Amino acid sequence: MVQSIGIDAGGSLLKLAYIEKGQLHVKAYDYSDIEMLLQWIAMVGREAKIGLTGGKAAFVQSKLPIKASYADEFEMTLSGAAFLLSREEKNTAAKILVSIGTGTSIYLLHGTESKRISGSGLGGGTLTGLSSLLLGTANFKELVSYAAKGDRSQADLQVRDIYGKENPPIPGHFTASNFGKAAQMGNPAKEDIAASLMGMIAETAVLLAVGAAHANRLKDICFIGGTLVNNIPLKQAVKEASAAFGCEAHFPDRGEYSGAIGALISL
């Protein structure tokens, strides 16, 4: 039986972290699958202590058969990230930490000390919200699957589209306008729309992070948060955009579950 469970009830996904046989394990559920989560807890965690965090913590608590302890979302995300980074690397030098959850928060992290620098309302909630409006689905896994098959150039206006045969001052594949080509192309495929949504979120987060990195004379940026769960298209877009601005993107192992891990280790 599992003795302790950390749950991060985010706006888009439910993330879990737990220890079993001395090993850290993680899981993610869409809210449409919350009954599966409850069944799992009933089977393996009936007597477990549960640490709960995130914006939908009250909703999840109302579904749980046992009382959970609540902890602040930002504190749990940072403590979880610091825990993962301490296990992963010896280097405790300052770095920029970007949490892409329902929205996006940006921190300066130095060892276990942190300071919030900025943030944006664009994040996983934006992805699922716009996906619902444009694609008719708010299912996160389905959106990621579409994006993996899409081509952003079919909806985004790129620098090369503006300059044509002329040599542009910046690389031609850079985005000039997110969805700027959609009107010209008529109705882009749902896969292309999904890929463009991922690109818009990635580029917005990276631009804010790069500004923070340059202001603090740093180049390393660590990206965490539930929106990155099994999201290869978003990670690739983040990596490419970071490199374009002279920074290096890092994705700590299980960093997508930082909030849940923070809630777990707080017990």
Is the pTM higher than 0.85? The answer reads yes
Q: Which fold has domain 120-252?
A: Nucleotidyltransferase; domain 5 (3.30.420)
The superfamily in CATH containing domain 4-73+259-265 is ATPase, nucleotide binding domain (3.30.420.40)
Which value, in Å, is the radius of gyration of the alpha carbons in the chain?
A: 19
Is 73 known to be catalytic?
yes
Compute the distance between CA of residue 52 and CA of residue 57 in angstroms, rounded to an integer.
6
Kindly tell me if the per-residue pLDDT of 89 is higher than 70: no
> For residue 203, what are the CA distances in angstroms to 12, 57, 110, 123, 199?
20, 29, 24, 11, 6
- Strand intervals (E) in 101-259: 104-110, 113-120, 157-158, 175-177, 220-224, 248-250
Strand partners, 69: 51
Domain locations in the chain as residue ranges: 4-73+259-265, 120-252
Q: Which of 20, 35, 73, 113 is catalytic?
A: 73
Compute the distance between CA of residue 231 and CA of residue 75 in angstroms, rounded to an integer.
24
Per residue in 242-251, pLDDT tens? 999 999 999 9
Q: Is 24 helix (H, G, I), strand (E, B) or coil?
A: strand
Per residue in 42-64, pLDDT tens? 888 888 999 999 999 999 999 99
> For residue 53, what are the CA distances in angstroms to 119, 177, 204, 212, 250?
19, 36, 26, 27, 24
Are 108 and 86 within 8 A, CB to CB? no
Instruction: Evaluate whether 4-73+259-265 and 120-252 have a shared fold.
Output: yes
